[in-house]
């Protein structure tokens, strides 16, 4: 077969196929068509073909620059969508552009510093420019104003200065009137921040006293019992109280003024029905108080001797013990010798235990107090002193008197026989004006003034009762030296106390 014949056969087959594969001859003109995937009547030019007519899904109109969008072709209407709708090679051309504001925090509100021009809002931009803080998404016009120190709604007012403040965001503050940093739970206000004397706690239990607060130390309050540390416990009821502040008292159930040693009460202040002593030997009986010191009475004369034996009970069960003793019985083997026995002169026996036969009287003030047989009178009592005795440790001195005053002490003695009264005296007075005077039965037997050292003096008396009086008299002016007189070691032979 010739080459020309072969070409004719191929051409004929091609035309038949172009006409739908029919063996019939194509009666239409061959045309150029384009695929029209989106069915908008325009096709893309990349796949142009010569076809017999226009097959389905193809079009003879080229110019579709995006065959996936039916609205995009050379006849399309350009709209603001960042797409070349009319396929003229330009996007959003011919449209009016607007200014858009950068919205850095994505809250829908932009700030005016950074803008862009576009026909539609770009991502990350906003149509508004009134965001006052574009770094915080919660800050923008219309936001909820809360207590945080920021202008949340961008109206120029911050926190409690903004009348639109969300009150649920406020804090409760309490008055601290006493300035101890702790607030009064009964006086409070709602605000964003504390002002004036307001604090953020309500822990003060007494806002009128700066020394009362949870950090204070509990103490024994001398005027009004206070809960110093606000723990609900006062004074000794608070275990944090320093026990060194407490005083031990003792229950006095029978009201006799003496407390029960076995019922101690550690308290800030003395409670009712208590005592500072713990000496009550029977706290159920008001007639029984201090226990006695008891002494052995070996001779049964009612006076004991030796060392005291103390009992917690009021009365010991051993009936050989007596409450008097401590050396008072000078011979506990002789029932005829005891302090109140009658002295018999000349028997060389000290029957009444005064240290002498025949009742010689002696007073050296070594008991440290004036014995009851001394009677004082005048403007001041006589005193027992120890700074400058003639002998021993103590002596008597006139009390403090003023000008034109006097003071005296006297004792009455019964002289069984005529005897002698002797004594030592000294003084520090205004010479020739202030005098030590000594009287026997009201008769002056001695007078001395000025300043003198211890001096011995004696006076004879007859048998019978005699009153010995020592008196210090001052004139109307001037005081010299110690302005007093002194007496020590008074002795009387053949005499007993009346």
**pTM here?**
0.41
Q: What is the mean pLDDT of residues 331-345?
A: 78
pLDDT in tens, 251-309: 999 888 888 888 999 999 999 999 998 877 778 877 666 666 677 788 888 787 777 76
The answer to whether residue 313 sits within a structural domain is no
157 and 30 share a domain? no
63 and 164 share a domain? no
Q: Count CB neighbours of 355 within 10 A.
A: 9
110 and 78 share a domain? no
How far apart CA 17 and CA 446 sit, in angstroms, is: 181
485 and 370 share a domain? yes
Residues 6+ apart with CB under 8 A from 448: 425, 427, 435, 436, 455, 485
Chosen domain end from 127, 149, 169: 169
Domain that holds residue 465: 360-497
SS3 11: helix
The answer to whether residue 335 sits within a structural domain is no
pLDDT in tens, 93-126: 878 778 899 999 999 999 888 888 888 888 899 9
pLDDT bracket for residue 7 (50, 70, 90): very low
Range of 1-5, 81-85, 432-436 with top mean pLDDT: 432-436
Supply the CATH number for residue 433's domain. 2.60.120.260
The answer to whether residue 424 sits within a structural domain is yes
CB 420 within 8 A of CB 458: yes
Residues 6+ apart with CB under 8 A from 256: 280, 285, 286, 287, 288, 289
69 and 105 share a domain? no
> What pLDDT, on the 0 to 100 scale, is given for residue 343?
67
> What pLDDT, on the 0 to 100 scale, is given for residue 5?
32
> What pLDDT, on the 0 to 100 scale, is given for residue 200?
95
The answer to whether residue 238 sits within a structural domain is no
Lowest mean pLDDT among 20-34, 72-86, 289-303, 379-393: 20-34
28 and 140 share a domain? no
> What pLDDT, on the 0 to 100 scale, is given for residue 326?
58
111 and 60 share a domain? no
> What pLDDT, on the 0 to 100 scale, is given for residue 339?
75
107 and 152 share a domain? yes
CB 253 within 8 A of CB 273: yes
146 and 36 share a domain? no
> What pLDDT, on the 0 to 100 scale, is given for residue 9?
33
How far apart CA 225 and CA 353 sit, in angstroms, is: 58
pLDDT at 232 over 50: yes
82 and 138 share a domain? no
How far apart CA 428 and CA 374 sit, in angstroms, is: 23
Number of domains composing the chain: 3
468 and 378 share a domain? yes
Chosen domain end from 123, 144, 169: 169
84 and 141 share a domain? no
Chosen domain end from 79, 94, 109: 94
The answer to whether residue 44 sits within a structural domain is yes
pLDDT at 470 over 60: yes
The answer to whether residue 434 sits within a structural domain is yes
């Amino acid at each position: 077969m010739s080459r020309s014949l072969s070409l004719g056969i191929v051409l004929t087959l091609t035309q038949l196929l172009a006409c739908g594969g029919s063996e019939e001859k194509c009666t239409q003109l061959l045309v150029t068509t384009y695929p029209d995937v989106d069915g908008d009547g325009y096709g893309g030019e990349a796949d142009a073909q010569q076809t017999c007519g226009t097959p389905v899904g193809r079009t003879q109109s080229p110019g579709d620059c995006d065959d996936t969008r039916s609205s995009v072709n050379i006849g399309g209407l350009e709209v603001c969508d960042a797409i070349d709708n009319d396929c003229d090679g330009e996007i959003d051309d011919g449209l009016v552009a607007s200014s858009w504001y950068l919205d850095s925090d994505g809250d829908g509100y932009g700030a005016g510093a950074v803008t862009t021009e576009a026909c539609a809002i770009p991502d990350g931009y906003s149509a508004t420019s009134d965001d006052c803080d574009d770094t915080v998404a919660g800050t923008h016009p219309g936001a909820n104003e809360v207590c945080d120190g920021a202008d949340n709604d961008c109206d120029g007012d911050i926190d409690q200065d903004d009348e639109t403040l969300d009150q649920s965001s406020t804090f409760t503050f309490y008055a601290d009137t006493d300035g101890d940093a702790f607030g009064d739970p009964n006086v409070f206000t709602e605000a964003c921040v504390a002002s004036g004397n307001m604090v953020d706690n309500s822990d003060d239990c007494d806002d009128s006293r700066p020394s009362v607060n949870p950090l204070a130390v509990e103490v024994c309050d001398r005027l009004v019992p206070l809960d110093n540390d606000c723990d609900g416990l006062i004074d000794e009821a608070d275990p944090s109280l320093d026990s060194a502040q407490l005083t031990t008292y003792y229950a006095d159930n029978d009201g006799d003024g003496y407390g029960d040693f076995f019922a101690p009460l550690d308290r800030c202040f003395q409670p009712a029905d208590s005592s500072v002593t713990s000496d009550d030997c029977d706290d159920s009986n008001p007639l029984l108080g201090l226990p006695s010191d008891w002494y052995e009475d070996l001779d049964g004369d009612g006076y004991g001797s030796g060392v005291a034996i103390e009992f917690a009970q009021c009365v010991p069960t051993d009936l050989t013990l007596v409450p008097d003793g401590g050396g008072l019985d000078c011979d506990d083997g002789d029932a005829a010798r005891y302090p109140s026995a009658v002295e018999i002169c000349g028997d060389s026996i000290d029957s009444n235990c005064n240290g002498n036969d025949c009742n010689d009287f002696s007073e050296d003030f070594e008991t440290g107090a004036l014995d009851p047989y001394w009677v004082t009178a005048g403007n001041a009592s006589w005193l027992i002193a120890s700074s400058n005795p003639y002998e021993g440790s103590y002596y008597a001195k006139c009390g403090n008197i003023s000008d034109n005053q006097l003071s005296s002490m006297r004792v009455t003695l019964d002289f069984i026989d005529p005897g002698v009264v002797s004594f030592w005296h000294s003084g520090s007075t205004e010479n020739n004006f202030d005098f030590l005077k000594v009287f026997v039965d009201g008769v002056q037997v001695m007078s001395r003034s000025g300043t003198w050292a211890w001096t011995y003096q004696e006076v004879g008396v007859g048998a019978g009762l005699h009153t010995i009086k020592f008196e210090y008299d001052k004139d109307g002016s001037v005081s010299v030296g110690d302005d007093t007189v002194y007496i020590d070691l008074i002795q009387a032979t053949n005499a007993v106390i009346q």
